[in-house]
Structure 1
Amino acid sequence: RHLVLVGKVAIVTGGASGIGRSVCQVLDREGAKVVIADINDKKANETLDLLKGKNHTAIHTDVSVRANVTHLFERVEQIYGTVDIVINSAGIIQTPSLFTNTSEAEFDKVISVNLKGTYLITQTAVKTMLKNENATGRTILNIASVSGKGGRRILAAYSASKGAVISFTKSVALEVALKGIRVNTILPGFTDTPMTQGTPNATRAAIIREIPMGRIAKPLEMAETIVFMCGPRSTYMIGSAVLVSGGTFL
C-alpha cells in the first residue's frame, strides 16, 4: 500500500488524547513524522508509545502562550529542519451554563486556548513554512465544531470560539493561497472523546436523538477526514469548512 505522507513532518496540537491522538495514529500509518504538541506530557508520551513508526517526538506546549509556541517550532526545526503539516486540535470545553452565568474568567480561558491558540500556532506555522520556498504539500488544518456553525445553548463561549476559528481559517486561507499553503477547517459533530465523556447520560441521549445517523462519532472517523484534507488527494481545497456531523446542522 502506498503511504501518502512519507517524509512529511506533521505537528498535532492536542495530540495527547481524543481526536488529536487518533490523528497522530493515522499520520503515523501514512508515513509522516509526528510531533505531538500538548500540555499533558504523560498523555502525550502515551500517544507516542502507540505510534508504530520511528522519528516521532512529543514537545510540551501550551498553545495559548507565545513563548511555548515559539519554542515548539524552534525545536521542530532543530530536529526535522522543516514542518509540512500543522493540525490545530488543542481545545477545551466550557462548563455548560447559560451565558449570563458564564464567568469572564472562563470565557477568557476558552477563547485563549481555542481561538488565540489556533492563531498563535497558525501564525508561527506560516512563518516557518515560508522559510522553505521550494516545499510542496504544506497545509494547516484547524479543528472547529458544529457548535461554531449553528450555536449551542449553554455553550455560548465555546461556540463563539469555534465560530471564530471558522472565519479565521477562511481569512488566512485567502492570504496564503498563492504562497503554496492550504488552510482548511473541519467541523466535528459530537465525538466520543475524553472531553465529552463527562456529559450526563440524559444530555448524551438527547444529543444522539438529534443526530440523523443515530450515534456519536468515533475519533478515528474525524482523524481519517482530517488526514485526507492534509494529504495529496485534496490539493485544490482551501478555506473549506468540512462538516463531519452525522447529519446535524446540515
Structure 2
Amino acid sequence: MKLLEGRNAIVTGGAQGIGRATALMLAEHGARVVVADLDERTAQAVVDGLPQGGAAVRCDVRDPDDARAAVAACQDLGSVDVVVNNAGITRDATLRKLTMADWDAVLDVHLKGAFLMSQAAAAVMREQGRGAIVNISSISGKVGMIGQANYSAAKAGMVGLTKATAKELAHRGVRVNAVQPGLIRTAMTEALRQDVWDQKMSEIPMGRAGEPEEVAKVVLFLASDLSSYLTGTVLEVTGGRFM
C-alpha cells in the first residue's frame, strides 16, 4: 500500500542524510517530491532517482523568497500536501567560545527556516483544507548538549513552533508534528571522534545508532493518514536514549 499516492511533498535539506532518506521514503510511497537544498546539483541527483519524479530547487531556507519559491514549485506539481523542515547545520562551541555569528547561523537555518517554510506552505494548505508539516527537531532540543547551546536552543524552539502552529492550523485540516532523532548514522555523526561516539553509544539502551531510514519511516507516518488524529506531537527516534 502506498501511503502518499498522488500527493506532493517538500523536503528541505533533502540532498543528503536524513533529508535524502526522507525524500526517498516519501517517493517510495507514491509522493512526488520537491528536494529543496542549497546544493541544487546533488538535489537534482536525488530527484533523478525518484520513481514519480519531482523537482530540485535551490533553497536557502533563511530567505522568505526561496521558501515561497519551493512552495510554488510544489504547487506546480498540483498541490502542497507535505512539508518536511529538515534543513540544518551545526556550529558547535562551548558557551564561552560561541560567537554571535555561529549563534545566529544555527538559529536562522533551523528555527527561522522552519518558520518561513511553514508560513509559506500553510498559506496554501489552509486554502486546500489539508496538509501535514513535519519538523525535524533533535533530542538535543529535549535535554541540551554541552557545546551546542545554539543547536539545542534552535531544536527546542522547533518544538514550540510545532505546538503553536499545530493549534493555529488544526481547524483548517493542517497537522503539524515534530520528530526528535537521537544518534543517527550520517556523514556528520560518523565524523565524530571515537571517544565522543562511544560516549553517545553508551547512553542508548538499544545499543546501536539509528539509520536515516528509521527516521524517514516516522516522518512517513506523520505525513500520511496513518496519523490523521495526531497534531502537536513530538516523536523521539532515539533507541531509548534519554527516556
What TM-score do the two structures reach when normalised by structure 2? 0.97
SS in 1 for 2:241: coil
Structure 2: runs of 5 or more not aligned: none
Query: Where do 1:202-241 residues align within 5 Å?
Result: 202-241=195-234
Tell me how far apart the structure 2 counterparts of residues 40 and 156 of structure 1 sit (CA, whole Å). 27
The answer on 1:84 being equivalent to 2:81 is yes
Identity rate, percent: 37
1:139 is paired with a residue of what secondary structure? strand
Alpha carbons 1:92, 1:195 under 8 Å: kept: no
- Give how far 1:46 is off: 2.4
Query: CA RMSD, aligned part only?
Result: 1.1
Residue in structure 1 matching 2:127, options 131, 134, 155: 131
Deviation at 1:192, TM superposition (A): 1.1
State the distance in 2 between where 1:46 and 1:194 align.
18
- Partner deviation per Cα, 1:69-101 (whole Å, 9 max, x = no partner): 122222322x22320000111111122x21121
**For the residues of structure 1 that align with 2:99 and 2:228, how far apart are their CA atoms?**
42
Q: Deviations over 1:13-36 (max 9, x none)?
A: 111000110111111110111110
Match of residue 105 from structure 2: 109
Counterpart of 1:123 in 2: which secondary structure? helix
Deviation at 1:111, TM superposition (A): 0.3
AA of the residue aligned to 2:230: M
Q: Deviation per CA, 1:160-218, whole angstroms, max 9, x where unpaired? A: 00000001100110111111000000000011112322211111111111111111110
Give the match for residue 61 of structure 2.
63
Structure 1 residue 56 displacement after superposition: 1.3
**Aligned AA for 1:24?**
A
Aligned residues: 243
CA–CA separation in structure 2 for the residues paired with 1:75 and 1:20: 18
Amino acid paired to 1:204: W
Provide Cα deviations, 1:140-178, integer angstroms capped at 9, x if missing partner.
Answer: 000000000011111111000000000110011011111
TM-score (norm 1): 0.94
